[in-house]
Structure 1
C-alpha cells in the first residue's frame, strides 16, 4: 500500500512537471494575444455610458493600439509568429522580441497611470470622440491586409 502511494506521488509529480514545462524555443506571437477589442461601439451607445466606463474603454483601446501599431509592417492581428513570417526563431530574435514586450509593458503601465489620473477631467464629448477615433483606427488595421 505504501509503495503504491509513493509510486503515484512520483508519477503525479513527473506528469505535472511535463505538462507545466514550457518550450523556451516555441515561437511567440509578435502582437500580444490580448491585443483585441471585444466590441466596437457607436456614438449613441457611448453617450449612454458613465465616464468611468468610457475611461476603461479608452484605456483598453490605447493598450491595443500600442501593442499593434509598431508591428503593422509584419502583422496586424495577434497570433502571427516570427516563424510564420519567415523570421528565424533564434535566441537573438526571441531576446529582442521579449525586450520589446517588456518595454511596451513598462510604457503602458506609465501611460495607464497617467490616463487614470488625468482623463477623468476631460470633457465627456472629447472622450467619446477619442474612443471612436481609436476604434476606427483599429477597424482600419483589419482592412490593412486587404491593401
Structure 2
C-alpha cells in the first residue's frame, strides 16, 4: 500500500512539474488563439444562416484585435519579445501583461456588443464585412513576407 502511495505521489509531482508554466519565460506577443480556421468564399457565405455568419464575424474581429496592434513587432503567434530583441525584464513583462488584460477587457465588451446588435444587421453587410476581415488577414500574410 505504501509503495502505491509513494508511486502516486512521485507521479503527481512529476506531472505537476511538466505542466507548470515557467514564470520567467517570455510571453508570446500574439495570442496562440489569433488565427482563422478557414477562409470562405462569397457563395459559401451566402448559403449560411445569419447565426453562423455572426459567429464568423465575431471570430474575425477577435483575431484582428489580437494581431493588428502588434504587426510592427510580429504577425504570427509564438514570437516573444525576447525573439525580437526586447529585454525580458520586469517592466516589459508588466507592460505585456497590462496590454493582454486591456485587450481581453476590450474584446469582452466588443463581443458582448456584437452579439446584441449584429442580429439586427443586414445579411449582405455582414457577408461583406466578413470578406473584408478575411482579406485583411490574407494581407497580413503578405505583409509578413516583406
Deviation at 1:7, TM superposition (A): 2.1
- The match for 1:34 is 33
Q: Deviations over 1:73-114 (max 9, x none)?
A: 001111111111011111211111111111101100000000
Q: Check if 1:129 corresponds to 2:128.
A: yes
Structure 1 CA distance, aligned partners of 2:104 and 2:87?
Answer: 24
CA distance in 1, matches of 2:126, 2:2: 66
Shift of 1:14: 2.2
Unaligned stretches of 5+ residues in structure 1: none
Distance 1:9 1:41 in 2: 49
Superposed CA RMSD: 1.1
Per-residue CA deviation, residues 102-137 of structure 1 (Å, 9 max, x unaligned), is: 110110000000000000100000000000000111
TM-score w.r.t. the length of structure 2 is: 0.95
- Return 85-94 or 48-57, whichever deviates more: 85-94
In the other structure, the counterpart of 1:62 is: 61
What TM-score results when the alignment is normalised by the length of structure 1? 0.94
2:20 and 2:140 map into 1 onto residues whose CA distance is: 35
The CA distance in 2 between the partners of 1:14 and 1:125, in whole Å, is: 55
The corresponding residue for 1:76 is 75
- 1:9 CA displacement: 3.2
CA shift, 1:146, in A, is: 2.4
Aligned to 2:46: 47
- Which of structure 1's runs of 4+ aligned residues deviate more than 3 A? none
Unaligned stretches of 5+ in structure 2? none
Give the number of aligned pairs: 146
